[in-house]
């Protein structure tokens, strides 16, 4: 491996890049997602082995006989890979969004750490030779990579806390955190960041301008916190996809500094795909894409609080047996899965229920909202885990026109994505596209209680005359439905 040529490195990086492109293509559809994951893992394996071989070659060329450089790289691969494998194996489906946010934070932190190393000893990365100052172009790339990486790290940490819901610290609460002059403070920090970045880039002399660089990094960490805390929990799916984009651009920026084509290509793929996904999510939630980029969305907290005030209105409730009887005698049923289904891990029981209804001649379909759950594609992954046939799963735009002709809609743990309040111009979620379950002839809603959804709003769907509430854990309720259908 010590004699690997740069031409071979380039070729292997190119092969890895093709694998990453194929991975994105495969992940665009549930039916090809497994193949896409296989391509992604293969590409990362090729890139990692090639990079390790390159490090070994560079160390041999430098005639380094001592030190722990290469050993530390291998140690990092083993320890990091072990932690990742353990976390991926232990994480529950409901905790996947937190895991994604945590991984984004590590990518951002890695970009900052690499930038610090390059500024300290650029000759080690073959950018300059000892005694020669960093070129302006490299300084600019390091500034951008550090800035984006720091924002990604701290912003992802806040997103992790909001998604987990385990911590009492106010910044980690689902409700938006705002204060007077917040936007002006963000603007002031952004201007200071640019000014410090320019000072760092134009600083004369061989020695790096550490003071503006360090202050810039600290301010970027602070800005990452400030642009995420005013975002409410209901908007977290968009935040996750946007932070994914940020992490990609941070990696690409560092790739330019290191003249590493693999980092540039992989980072650009992640950054661009994350930005496109964020745009799709914004359309699905009726949000402004540019406000997301600036961290300025999340709704009016006062309005959200007012909208979330629960009205004491009567609801019609029933048992699992009642729901099973209604569905068994229907011709068409549409199932709307939500976060409650994921929490109960009831997807396998749901598949069994659908199989029994189908055996009775009932036509059953699944309706998926783009932001159902806690991250984009959450429900698709959940149903794929239970091996639900892909031809039964429909996206919102493909199935919304069928609700008006559907006999029964079964809503399982979903709230905001079926809330008719989105049709009210005065509602905090006004204009948000929803699954139009309220148009069905009969509606069955399974929830643990009448508690509001992630957006903190009451749901008029629960009070409709044709709605029956079935309270209880989704898995237990569905299992009872399966027995009743038998």
Measuring CA to CA, which residue among 288, 168, 310 is closest to residue 231? Answer: 288
Q: At 69, phi and psi to the nearest 5?
A: -55, -60
Measuring CA to CA, which residue among 300, 458, 481 is closest to residue 408? Answer: 481
- Looking at residue 366, the DSSP 8-state letter turns out to be E
Based on the residue annotation, tell me whether 416 is a catalytic residue of this protein: yes
Distances (CA, A) of 335 to 338, 341, 353, 421: 10, 11, 11, 20
Residues 6+ apart with CB under 8 A from 171: 158, 161, 177, 225, 229
Measuring CA to CA, which residue among 406, 364, 109 is closest to residue 246? Answer: 109
Beta bridge partners of 334: 365, 409
Q: Which long-range contacts (CB under 8 A, 24 or more apart) does 313-316 make?
A: 313/463, 314/463, 315/450, 315/462, 315/463, 315/467, 315/469, 316/465, 316/467, 316/468, 316/469
Separation between Cα atoms, residue 448 and residue 405, nearest integer Å? 28
Angle at 350 between CA 317 and CA 160, to 5 degrees: 90
DSSP assignment string, 14-46? HHHHHHHHHHHHHTTSGGGHHHHHHHHHHHHHH
Tokens of 8: 């071979």
- Looking at residue 317, the DSSP 8-state letter turns out to be B
Separation between Cα atoms, residue 162 and residue 472, nearest integer Å? 25
Residues 6+ apart with CB under 8 A from 98: 160, 163, 164
Residues 6+ apart with CB under 8 A from 151: 108, 220, 221, 223, 224, 227, 246
Say how many residues make up the chain.
486
Residue 451 exposed, middle or buried by CB count within 10 Å (0-12, 13-18, 19+):
exposed
For 291, the 3-state DSSP assignment is helix
Measuring CA to CA, which residue among 98, 100, 228, 97 is closest to residue 171? Answer: 228
Separation between Cα atoms, residue 104 and residue 476, nearest integer Å? 35
Other Cβ atoms less than 10 A from the Cβ of 189: the count is 16
Active-site option among 321, 416, 473, 486 = 416
Q: Which of the residues are catalytic?
A: 416
């Amino acid at each position: 491996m010590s004699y690997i040529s740069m031409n071979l490195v380039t070729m292997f990086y190119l092969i890895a890049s093709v694998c990453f492109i194929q991975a994105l293509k495969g992940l665009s559809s549930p039916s090809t997602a497994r193949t896409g994951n296989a391509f992604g893992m293969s590409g990362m394996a090729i890139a990692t082995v090639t990079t390790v071989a390159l490090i070994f070659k560079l160390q041999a060329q430098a005639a380094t006989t001592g030190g722990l450089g290469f050993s530390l790289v291998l140690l990092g691969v083993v320890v990091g890979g072990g932690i990742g494998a353990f976390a991926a194996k232990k994480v529950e489906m409901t905790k996947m969004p937190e895991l994604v946010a945590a991984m984004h934070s590590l990518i951002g932190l890695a970009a900052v750490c690499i930038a610090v190393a390059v500024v300290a000893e650029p000759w080690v990365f073959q950018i300059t030779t000892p005694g020669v100052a960093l070129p302006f172009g490299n300084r600019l790339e390091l500034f951008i990579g550090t800035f984006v990486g720091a924002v990604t790290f701290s912003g992802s940490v806040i997103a992790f806390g909001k998604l987990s819901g385990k911590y009492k610290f106010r910044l980690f609460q689902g409700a938006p955190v705002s204060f007077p002059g917040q936007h002006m403070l963000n603007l002031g920090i952004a201007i200071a960041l640019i000014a410090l970045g320019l000072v760092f880039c134009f600083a004369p002399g061989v020695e790096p301008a550490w003071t503006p660089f360090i202050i810039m990094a600290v301010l970027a960490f602070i800005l990452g916190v400030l642009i995420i805390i005013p975002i409410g929990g209901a908007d977290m799916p968009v935040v996750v996809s946007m932070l994914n984009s940020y992490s990609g651009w941070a990696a690409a920026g560092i790739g330019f500094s290191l003249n590493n084509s693999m980092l540039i290509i992989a980072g650009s793929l992640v950054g661009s795909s994350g930005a496109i996904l964020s745009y799709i999510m914004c359309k699905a939630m009726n949000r402004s894409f540019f406000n997301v980029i600036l961290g300025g969305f999340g709704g009016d907290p006062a309005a959200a609080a007012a909208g979330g005030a629960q009205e004491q209105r009567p609801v019609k409730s029933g048992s699992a047996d009642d729901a099973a009887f209604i569905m068994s005698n229907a011709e068409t049923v549409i199932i709307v899965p939500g976060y409650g289904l994921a929490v109960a891990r009831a997807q396998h029981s749901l598949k069994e229920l659908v199989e029994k209804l189908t055996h009775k001649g009932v036509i059953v379909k699944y309706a998926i909202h783009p932001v159902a759950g806690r991250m984009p594609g959450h429900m698709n992954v959940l149903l794929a885990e239970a091996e639900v046939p892909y031809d039964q799963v429909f996206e919102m735009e493909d199935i919304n026109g069928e609700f008006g002709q559907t006999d029964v809609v079964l809503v399982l743990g979903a709230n905001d994505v079926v809330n008719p309040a989105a049709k009210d111009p005065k509602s905090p979620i006004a204009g948000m596209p929803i699954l139009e379950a309220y148009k069905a002839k009969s509606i069955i809603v399974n929830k643990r209680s009448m508690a509001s959804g992630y957006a903190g709003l009451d749901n008029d769907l629960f009070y409709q005359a044709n709605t029956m509430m079935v309270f209880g854990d989704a898995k237990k309720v569905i299992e009872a439905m399966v027995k009743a259908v038998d």
